Structure 1
Amino acid sequence: MNFFRFIFTKTFWIQVVIAALVTVVLCFAYLFWLDWYTNHDQKIEVPDLEKLTLTEVREQLKDLDLRSKIIDSTSYNPAFKPRTVIEQDPLAGKFVKENRQIYIKVNASGYEKVLVPNLIYKTKRLAIPTLEALGFKIGEITYKPNIAENTVLEMRYKNKKLEPGTQLRKTSTIDLVLADGKNPSARIDVSDNE
Structure 2
Amino acid sequence: MFDFITKRSFGINLLAVIAMFFALALLFFSLLGVITKHGQQLTVPDVRGKNVKEAISLLENAGFEADVRDSIYIDSIPPLAVYAQTPDKGAQVKVGRTIYLTVNKTVAPMVKMPDLEGLTFRSAEMMLKSLRLNVGDTIYKPDFATNTVLQQLFGGKKIKPGTLVAEGSNITLILSSGTGSVENPVPNFVGLTYAEAREMLSASNLNPGTVIIDPNVTDTANAYIIKQVPARKNEIGDFNMVRAGESVDFWLSANKPVTDSTATQPAKQE
Tell me which residue corresponds to 2:59.
61
Closer, same or farther in 2 for the Cα pair 1:180/1:174, shift >3 Å? same
Find out whether 1:104 has 2:104 as its counterpart: no
Give yes or no for contact 1:76–1:112 (8 Å, CA) kept in 2: no
In structure 2, distance between residues paired with 1:58 and 1:12: 59
Tell me which residue corresponds to 1:189.
258
In structure 2, distance between residues paired with 1:117 and 1:95: 44
Closer, same or farther in 2 for the Cα pair 1:21/1:167, shift >3 Å? same
In structure 1, distance between residues paired with 2:154 and 2:25: 75
Identify the structure with bigger relative contact order (alpha carbons < 8 Å, sequence gap 6+).
Answer: 1
Equivalences, count: 170
> Any idea what SS the aligned residue of 1:134 has?
helix
In structure 1, distance between residues paired with 2:13 and 2:84: 64
Closer, same or farther in 2 for the Cα pair 1:21/1:60, shift >3 Å? same
In structure 2, distance between residues paired with 1:17 and 1:32: 22
Tell me which residue corresponds to 1:134.
127
RMSD: 4.6
CA deviation map 1:13-59 (0-9, x unaligned): 86666455434432333334444433344333322333433223201
Tell me which residue corresponds to 2:37.
39
Give yes or no for contact 2:51–2:82 (8 Å, CA) kept in 1: yes
Give yes or no for contact 2:82–2:101 (8 Å, CA) kept in 1: no
Closer, same or farther in 2 for the Cα pair 1:141/1:167, shift >3 Å? farther
In structure 2, distance between residues paired with 1:95 and 1:118: 47
Tell me which residue corresponds to 1:28.
26
More helix by share: 1
Normalised by the length of structure 2, the TM-score is 0.44
> Any idea what SS the aligned residue of 2:100 has?
strand
Closer, same or farther in 2 for the Cα pair 1:31/1:76, shift >3 Å? same
Q: 5+ residue gaps in structure 1?
A: 1-10, 143-150
Give yes or no for contact 1:76–1:110 (8 Å, CA) kept in 2: no
Range 104-113 or range 67-76, more displaced: 104-113
Range 162-171 or range 51-60, more displaced: 162-171
